[in-house]
Structure 1
């Protein structure tokens, strides 16, 4: 059996980083640069017992590429936050593995066959696939490169819907409020998100009726 030696990857799916200040991150990428929030994942009880709850959120940076961030509830800042770049230039001994791996590059492939081809290539190398996971809208395989950086290959399981874009917007607005207050937690975020749904429902209903009226007139 022969294997296609050509590239099957389709560029960057997303580059991911941790954030200690999600509200400022949203102000910078969404409000200042106008990169829309396109997806978010709220994860409770994920991973090993000592893994904190977190939110993973994504900004559209054009050409189907995204930049993503992890916010870990209860994780304290690393390094000197007053020195630009210093917080990410070095990580103290004992930094949790999940925090190190949150900084990774995700490379896009189009199909399951392409994903499995890259798994085959990795498994026959010195850097075998360490994990294959389906989570929400994507399936991914992971390994670490020779420098210790986590590399992800990912394919879409289905398109992201407009409803999910709206859900991401609500999640991020709730996160910005909760993260700026005392003792932020995923439970507080979800509670505030539910309140925002109730607060904004009348506006959505009005917009829906106006849209329906335009279509039928």
Structure 2
């Protein structure tokens, strides 16, 4: 039934600032903008600017600026590292180049972090959204191995709500070195 993600939408403080940031930092072009006085799905009166950015390969990242709503916040019950937008880059060289570019723009960049099947860097956009850039480093058989243990991991997690170990090999070398 599904053919892919049409777009993912987030809130922004300032649509113009958001368009400029994503163009400068990630070379994402503005595809279109929609502005209405009422929400089409609910008919609520709530003026907004809805922008759509080209995230590559037909992927679209969208934002809403809502001038009549209270100031943006975040779900304080969820750790800041959990909610993020992750974009794929071609390879580790591209990841390193992106990190250098982002740091030259004055952004704090965490990483690269080795996740065994990919490496990534993290930074924040002007709205406070955490952004991840990831370069795949998966080795033959790794994804199949992870898919194989996924059902058992879900079952054990559902029963215990404690860390399960079937995929611990992903970070074993990293944690044993610390």
Report the TM range for the smaller structure's normalisation. 0.3 to 0.5
With normalisation by structure 2, the TM-score equals 0.45
With normalisation by structure 1, the TM-score equals 0.38
Bigger helix share: 1
Select the structure with the greater relative contact order (CA < 8 A; seq sep ≥ 6): 1
